[in-house]
Amino acid sequence: MSRAMTKTSMTLLALACLALSACGGKSESEGEGHAADTGHAATSSAGLPDGSIEAGKQLAATKGAATGQACVDCHGAEGNAPIDATYPRLGGQYADYIAHALQAYRDGKRAGSGTTDLMATQAKGLTDQQIADLAAYYGSVQGQLVDLKDAY
């Protein structure tokens, strides 16, 4: 009976260690989770390098070679003032969402309408680092997103 108990205890201990290691290993006080404080975003689920908020802010205002437009030309200052109601607000959006969306535009997986085709053209030349930087920047901005569940 004690041998079975030892196996069970060891299994539970191994599972507990695995669960704790999956939760990160660093506490917030060690710098994890404070992207805005350090100027860098947390690791992306999109498989991208860490993004730089400052580099993303500069890139958002830089005219793209493909269309001659910058992110702010359509999405407005800090991504919170789109020029058209059909253009999304980017400020305050989850960085991973922006990263995944930009990758899909760049890779031709998100297309088929005038707006998505425009974004595909705009994103085509972006590197993984630039996508990570833009995602970090827009994810760090105070958002003006609204919950649409009560809009109708």
**48 φ, ψ (degrees, to nearest 5):** -100, 160
Contact status, residue 98 vs residue 139, Cβ threshold 8 Å: yes
In the chain (152 residues long), the average pLDDT of successive 10-residue segments reads 46 38 35 42 72 95 86 93 91 94 94 87 94 96 80 66
| Angle (nearest 5°) at CA 19 between 15 and 20 | 120
Predicted TM-score (pTM) of the model is: 0.68
pLDDT given at position 8:
43
pLDDT at 43: 56
Torsional class of 151: left (φ above 0), alpha (ψ -120 to 50), beta (otherwise): alpha
Rounded Cα gap, residues 95 and 80, in angstroms = 15
Any idea how long the chain is?
A: 152
